[in-house]
Amino acid sequence: MIELKNIEKYYANKGVKSYILRHVTTSIKQGEFVSIMGPSGAGKSTLLNILGMLEEPTYGEYHFMGEDVTAMKERQRIELYRNHIGFVFQAYHLIDEMTVAENIEAPLLYKKIPGAERKSRIADILDRFNMVAKKDLFPNQLSGGQQQLVGIARALVAQPSIILADEPTGNLQSAQAEQIMDLFKKLNQEENITILQVTHSEKNAQYGNRILTIEDGVIKEDVTVK
Ligand code: ADP
Ligand code: ADP
């Protein structure tokens, strides 16, 4: 599903290059649940952002579902993103002025899904997440865990092939974090949705089947656990 070949990312300042990622070569198959771990500043978020097409690598090849992402025009990349990728952020990134239902609807509007189908998909996901009663509330009226559920509902409603999550439970208490990890595991096992998360938590990483460790912009370890 994902193939990275010799990915590099650096910033040049007065001719001096500072490398964020170096020689990153790896592949991820459909159905895997991968955790990216490593110290702060190692390049984890940068790698996830490149995979999520939110940032471009300076060098190297990235194939996503057989398509050459680095060779694409911005518009094609956005299209690919909207059709296949659900991104979940540590700080949720919900739109404060929009209700729960409106936040969840946003990606469907981008994809030009007709109104009746939008309504039924939003209703289904609210029901599944036990959030029907909260549909007209605003993000600041919800707990952190509920906000993250909305963030995940928004990622899922467009029926992505992969969920990319950057420290999805980083701002949550442990009970809420467990709920989110259980949900990821279920999505992975029952719906074969590929999951890639950046996490500092050994416990969160155990929910997945593979751990990639990054240090100083380099993949140091790649362990498939089960
Ligand atoms: P976090 O660790 O919470 O992800 P960072 O402090 O690493 O956040 O980065 C916050 C933002 O600042 C990022 O979006 C990044 O692009 C930018 N940034 C980080 N370090 C630098 C830097 N040395 N020069 C310019 N921009 C930077
Ligand atoms: P991690 O997610 O592992 O904490 P990041 O991918 O956020 O690491 O950042 C890796 C390094 O890249 C950090 O040292 C950060 O300061 C640097 N960085 C991020 N964005 C920029 C930027 N726009 N310009 C320069 N340096 C940056």
Q: What is the pLDDT of residue 188?
A: 96
Give percent above pLDDT 90 in the chain: 94
Checking if the pLDDT of 189 tops 90, the result is: yes
Checking if the pLDDT of 226 tops 80, the result is: no
Q: How far, in Å, from the CA of 40 to the mean position of ligand 2?
A: 9
- Which ligand is nearest to the Cα of residue 12, counting in written order? 2
Query: Any residues with CB less than 8 A from the CB of 73 and at least 6 apart, and which?
Result: none
Checking if the pLDDT of 80 tops 90, the result is: yes
- Tell me the pTM: 0.87
Q: What is the pLDDT of residue 172?
A: 87
C-alpha span between 94 and 89 (Å, rounded) = 9
* Mutation test residue for ligand 2: of 46, 48, 218, the one with most atoms within 8 Å of CB: 46
How would residue 25 be classed by pLDDT, with cut points 50, 70 and 90? Answer: very high
* Complex ipTM more than 0.85, yes or no: no
Give percent above pLDDT 70 in the chain: 100
Q: What is the pLDDT of residue 169?
A: 93
Mean pLDDT in residue range 176-194: 94
Amino acid at 27: S
Q: Whose CA is nearest to atom 11 of ligand 2?
A: 41
Residue 178 CB coordination number (10 Å): 16
pLDDT in tens, 115-139: 999 999 999 999 999 999 999 999 9
| Pairing of the two strands 85-88 and 210-215 | unpaired
* DSSP tally for the chain: helices H, then strands E: 7, 10
Helix (H, G, I), strand (E, B) or coil at 91: coil
Mean pLDDT in residue range 47-52: 96
How would residue 225 be classed by pLDDT, with cut points 50, 70 and 90? Answer: confident
Domains of the chain: 2-224 (3.40.50.300)
Q: Are 139 and 150 in contact (CB under 8 A)?
A: yes
pLDDT in tens, 124-179: 999 999 999 999 999 999 999 999 999 999 999 999 999 999 999 999 898 989 99
Give the atom of ligand 2 at the shortest distance from the alpha carbon of 43: 6
Q: How far, in Å, from the CA of 198 to the mean position of ligand 2?
A: 14
